[in-house]
């Protein structure tokens, strides 16, 4: 199926921030987010397959999490905020129903 392509995450994080600055992080990942509510042409239910969890960690500590349910649109977008304190690295993780997980990292320099 055309939908079996590997999901590609895209994240927008500023590279630099001042200490105490509030930064907005915008993320997007390509994914069909099959809700499990649809039927194919033969009337059979198309099995559910969604990304059910998004996690953002900074320097190893989880700072933000989102549990996604089948109501989330295809190619899910998620934005949230982070208060810059020190330089380090973000790790963003998306967990798929099929057991796979997708990850991307972004460095942030504070100073």
Partner 1 sequence: MSQTANSRRNFLKTGAIAVLASILAPHMVLAEEADVKAALDKLYSGKTMAAGKIKLDLPQIAENGLVVPIGIDVESPMTDADYVKAVHIFADGNPLPNVISYRFTPECGKASASARMRLAKTQNILAVAEMSNGQLFTAKQEVKVTIGGCGG
Nearer residue to partner 1 within complex by CB, 73 or 101: 73
β-strand 77-83 against 22-29: which pairing, if any?
Answer: antiparallel
* Residue 66 neighbours by CB distance under 10 Å: 16
Q: What angle do CA 31, 35, 37 make, to 5 degrees?
A: 150
To the nearest 10°, report the CA torsion of 81, 55, 9, 75. -90
The answer to whether the beta carbons of residues 76 and 28 sit under 8 Å apart is: yes
Binding mask 14-43 for partner 1 (x = CB under 8 A): --------x------------x-xxx----
Binding mask 58-97 for partner 1 (x = CB under 8 A): x--xxxxxxxxxxxxxx-xxxxxxxx-x------------
Q: How far is the CB of 40 from partner 1 (least distance, A)?
A: 8
Q: How far is the CB of 4 from partner 1 (least distance, A)?
A: 19
Binding site for partner 1 (CB under 8 A): 22, 35, 37-39, 46, 58, 61-74, 76-83, 85
């Amino acid at each position: 199926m055309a939908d079996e392509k590997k999901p590609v995450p895209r994240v927008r994080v500023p590279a630099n921030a001042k200490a105490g600055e509030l930064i907005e992080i915008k993320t997007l990942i390509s994914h069909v987010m099959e809700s499990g509510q649809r039927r194919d042409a033969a009337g059979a239910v198309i099995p559910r397959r969604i990304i059910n969890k998004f996690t953002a960690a900074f320097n190893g500590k989880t700072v933000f999490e989102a549990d996604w349910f089948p109501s989330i649109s295809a190619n899910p977008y998620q934005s949230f905020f982070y208060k810059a304190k020190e330089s380090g690295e973000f790790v963003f993780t998306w967990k798929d129903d099929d057991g796979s997980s997708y990850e991307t990292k972004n460095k942030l320099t504070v100073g």
